[in-house]
Every structure is written in structure tokens, then in C-alpha cells.
């Protein structure tokens, strides 16, 4: 039995002639945060999408809880619910014509089969730091940071086992990025979630993740314990990523 709850095994993803992900193997353990870092175009988003069944594989497999997910079939419903994804831009993830409370209620119903009562919904919103007035708002009536909280509430309402977060704070004002990152850390500890945290920012990844996988041009170039990898990067690309950070402790300090 693998130590990983969700795992990519020798995954290849192609878009026409473009070979975006080249034989990547990695996995997230139960309750762990795995950071996937790399510059734009390194293939990390493609891999993240593939890990929740949103991307077709050219070769390799995604294994969830010991069971390979066939890339050709739609994921079984229970697996689809267990694996949730949060994207960069919360505004485009939410239907502009649907109230925020309704969006979260429908996600909860996907798991339980019934829409939650208003006080349950209010509790879900409170969990992500939003008061009940947000239930009746439309996306246009909330800020980016507030919307990303709603997106998190919606993902968590499904009671997932794994959350793949793809640049979840990159579209937010710097002033609210740390708040949302802290929220994610708290939720993970509280709900015993596994998180795959995808980001171009190694300082943020270092702060969020237990282990880090570094991608470069579609390949996994290095992976290991977050602190150790930052302290002793083995690959020159990892060193370059670290050198590009003015002071990795700044983000850590901001978000702590």
C-alpha cells in the first residue's frame, strides 16, 4: 500500500505537440501539504488539474487511496467529491447570477443529498471568516479575498479529503493574501485535509508546505522536506528560484 493518499505516477500530459508534463511522479500523504512550485509554463497547473481528474493523461496514472483513476472515464461520484480544486480567480469560479449562500449550499448538497439549513450555511461561512450577510450577496458584492473565502467554503462544504489549490492567492491584493493563506493552514489542521498547493512563489510554498516538489519545463527536478529543500537546494533551478526571492522570511513572517 502506498504512503500517499493521492499520487501521480509517471504522468505525461500533452496538448497537441506540446509535452507539458513529462513523467512526473509525486504524491500527498494524508493530512499533509505538498507544495508544487515552478515558473509559469512548468506544467504545475496541468498536473494539479490531472490530480483531480480534470486533465486527460497522455501516459501514467493518478492513484487515489490505492485505486488508479482511469483517465478515460469520468471519475466515480464519491471520488469526485473527495478531490476538490480551488483556482486562482475566485470571481470566474462563481456564477455571477447566483447568491453566494446558494453556491455553497449546492456544493454541500452534492455530498449530503439535501440543501443545508440557513444556520448550517451561516456556520460554513463563519468557518471561513465571513458573516451571514454574505449568504445573500452576489459575487459582485464582495471583494476578491472574500470571494476566495467563499470558494474555500464551497470546496469544504463537500467535505473533501484532498484540496488542490492552484495559485489560490495570486489574484488577491497582497494585503489579504496572508489572511487567506493562514485560513487555509487552519482549515487543513482542523479538517485533517491533504492539500496540494500549486504556486510559482517558493517563499509562499515554503511557508505552506511540509514537502515541496519543484517542476521545471514539465519535469520534476527535485522534491523533499520544505525546510531542508530551501536550506540545501540540490538543483540549480531550485537555487535560482530561491535567489529570486528578496527574503524568503518576509513572506513567512507576514503569514505567521
Work out whether strand 194-199 and strand 162-166 pair parallel, antiparallel, or are unpaired: parallel
Return the exposure string of 136-158: e unless at least 16 CB atoms fall within 10 Å of the residue's CB, then b: ebebeebebbbbbbbbbbbbbbb
Residue showing cell 538543483: 235
Closer residue to ligand ATP (CB): 38 or 145:
38
Closer residue to ligand ATP (CB): 45 or 238:
45
Closer residue to ligand ATP (CB): 87 or 134:
87
CB of residue 254 to ligand ATP, shortest distance in Å: 22
Work out whether strand 211-216 and strand 33-37 pair parallel, antiparallel, or are unpaired: parallel
Closer residue to ligand ATP (CB): 37 or 69:
37
User: Which residues, other chains included, contact 29 with Cβ-Cβ below 8 Å and sequence gap of 6+?
Assistant: 3, 4, 5, 194
CB of residue 157 to ligand ATP, shortest distance in Å: 26
CB of residue 45 to ligand ATP, shortest distance in Å: 3
CB of residue 172 to ligand ATP, shortest distance in Å: 16
CB of residue 180 to ligand ATP, shortest distance in Å: 18
d(CA 173, CA 43): 25
CB of residue 175 to ligand ATP, shortest distance in Å: 22
Q: Site residues (CB under 6 A) for ligand ATP?
A: 15, 18, 20, 38, 40-46, 200
What are 166's strand-pairing partners? 198
Closer residue to ligand ATP (CB): 40 or 175:
40
Closer residue to ligand ATP (CB): 46 or 223:
46
Long-range Cβ pairs for the range 62-65 (8 Å, 24+): 62/6, 62/7, 62/8, 62/9, 62/11, 63/2, 63/4, 63/6, 63/7, 63/9, 63/27, 64/5, 64/6, 64/7, 64/162, 65/5, 65/6, 65/161
Q: Closest residue to ligand ATP, Cβ-based? A: 45
Closer residue to ligand ATP (CB): 43 or 90:
43
Judge contact between 13 and 23, C-beta under 8 A.
no
Amino acid at each position: 500500500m502506498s504512503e500517499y493518499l493521492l499520487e501521480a505516477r509517471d504522468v505525461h500530459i500533452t496538448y497537441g505537440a506540446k509535452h507539458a508534463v513529462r513523467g512526473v511522479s509525486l504524491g500527498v500523504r494524508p493530512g499533509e501539504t505538498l507544495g508544487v512550485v515552478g515558473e509559469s509554463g512548468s506544467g504545475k497547473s496541468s498536473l494539479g488539474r490531472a490530480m483531480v481528474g480534470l486533465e486527460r493523461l497522455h501516459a501514467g496514472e493518478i492513484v487515489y487511496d490505492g485505486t488508479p483513476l482511469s483517465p478515460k472515464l469520468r471519475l466515480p461520484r464519491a471520488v469526485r467529491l473527495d478531490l476538490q480544486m480551488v483556482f486562482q480567480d475566485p470571481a470566474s469560479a462563481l456564477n455571477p447570477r447566483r447568491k453566494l449562500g446558494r453556491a455553497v449550499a449546492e456544493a454541500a448538497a452534492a455530498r449530503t443529498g439535501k440543501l443545508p439549513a440557513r444556520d448550517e450555511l451561516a456556520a460554513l461561512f463563519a468557518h471561513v471568516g465571513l458573516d451571514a450577510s454574505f449568504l445573500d450577496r452576489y459575487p459582485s458584492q464582495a471583494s476578491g479575498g472574500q470571494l476566495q473565502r467563499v470558494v474555500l467554503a464551497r470546496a469544504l462544504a463537500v467535505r473533501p479529503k484532498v484540496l488542490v489549490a492552484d495559485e489560490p492567492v495570486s489574484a488577491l491584493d497582497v494585503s489579504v493574501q496572508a489572511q487567506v493563506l493562514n485560513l487555509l493552514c487552519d482549515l487543513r489542521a482542523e479538517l485533517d485535509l491533504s492539500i496540494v498547493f500549486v504556486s510559482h512563489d517558493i517563499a509562499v510554498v515554503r511557508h505552506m508546505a511540509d514537502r515541496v516538489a519543484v517542476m521545471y519545463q514539465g519535469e520534476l527536478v527535485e522534491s523533499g522536506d520544505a525546510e531542508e529543500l530551501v536550506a540545501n537546494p540540490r538543483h540549480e533551478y531550485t537555487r535560482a528560484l530561491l535567489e529570486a526571492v528578496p527574503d524568503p522570511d518576509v513572506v513567512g513572517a507576514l503569514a505567521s
